Amino acid sequence: MAKTNGSHIRNQKNASKPSTLNTIFGVVGEVLLIFAAVCALYIAWQLWWTGVEAEKVQLHDSTTSSWTAPASKNGSVSIAPDNSADTAPVEQTNWKYGDTLGKLYVPRFGQDWSRTVVEGTDNAQLVRHGLGHYSETQKPGQLGNFAVAGHRAGYGEPLGNADKLTNGDFIVMRTENYWYVYKYDKTEIVLPDSVEVLSAVPGHFNAEPTERYITLTTCEPKYTTATHRLIVYGKLVSWSKVSDGVPSVLAQKDASGKVSFTTDSVRSLASRIPDLSSVFLWILVIYLVIAIAAAVAWRWPAIRSYREREESRQVFSLFGWFMRAQPGILPVRIVLALLIVVALTAALFQWGYPWLSVHVPYLQVSSNYVR
């Protein structure tokens, strides 16, 4: 009978031991979960964080600009009179590559929507500043075609809602001294090599312009490989002097009749996050302080408890050992683990994903990222 009981106990221990195959499957499953998390974070970086960085550049462009604010009186912004499009003046500045032309405002995209327009349309300009002027096209308000390019996904999605424009919508361009109010005309989808959309008369090579156009170009479709281009056209309907106030299409009135212009004053919470390299370093310092204190006070109780278990109950797990490697009691270990996750996320956003987007050919093509 004693022999039978001993055999039964040995069989129980052998049955409770994890097989090598189960251990391998478990580790592979955890690695796949980590890989899925890294991929999900890459999507968040591409579609969200690049937009936060673009907003920071927009704010820097605004705060460093020496341009005067629109006219106001007693805290109320003045509404500038509309002038005929046929008499529109043109800025005499000869912009160089990377220079700021002004800002584009599209009420359809939101009351707080505005984007800087710079000279040049390569990725270096579009990624950093949002919108770029095709240098070979005309200036704002000039007879002919003022053409602008912008990304539709990532980097703030400056033209992410270009397909939402409809009849009656306005597209307003502000330069240093003037407002140019364009009215939406039409939208079309063309092939990437359809350069005639940039002609002085959009769609017509060598035609003599008699009107003042604006053309917005962006990628189509929005979130997959861009096989086409989405083109938005508008025509100038009026212009105003910045010194006279703001155009009526951008002015907002409260119940008391006070006129406000808020598109330049709204800032997202995400744009207040400091540079991620400093965030990473601060988290690292906080982690080390807590970890050292926990090690002195409690040492590594999770590892001690694991070693005291029966051999038959030990199962290898990457996640399990990650938690056991943290010193201190359970609440402290959870805090330390979260700090590591946040620090790694900051490192991926700051260095990892930018590096991959530059050096991995597929990601380079799909992201259009430049340093």
Best CA proximity match to 137, nearest among 125, 149, 126? 149
Give the span between the Cα atoms of 215 and 367, in whole angstroms. 24
Best CA proximity match to 140, nearest among 98, 185, 172? 172
- Cα distance between the two ends of the chain: 76
Best CA proximity match to 127, nearest among 104, 154, 99, 98? 154
Place of tokens 């281009």: 229
- Reduce the DSSP state of residue 214 to 3 states and report it: strand
Give phi and psi for 40, each to the nearest 5. -65, -40
Active site residues: 151, 219
30 in the Ramachandran plot: left (φ > 0), alpha (ψ -120 to 50) or beta? alpha
- Reduce the DSSP state of residue 296 to 3 states and report it: helix
| E runs forming strands in 106-227 | 114-119, 130-133, 144-150, 170-174, 178-190, 212-220
| E runs forming strands in the chain | 72-73, 76-77, 83-84, 100-105, 114-119, 130-133, 144-150, 170-174, 178-190, 212-220, 228-241, 252-253, 259-260
C-alpha dihedral (190, 196, 198, 201), degrees to nearest 10: -120
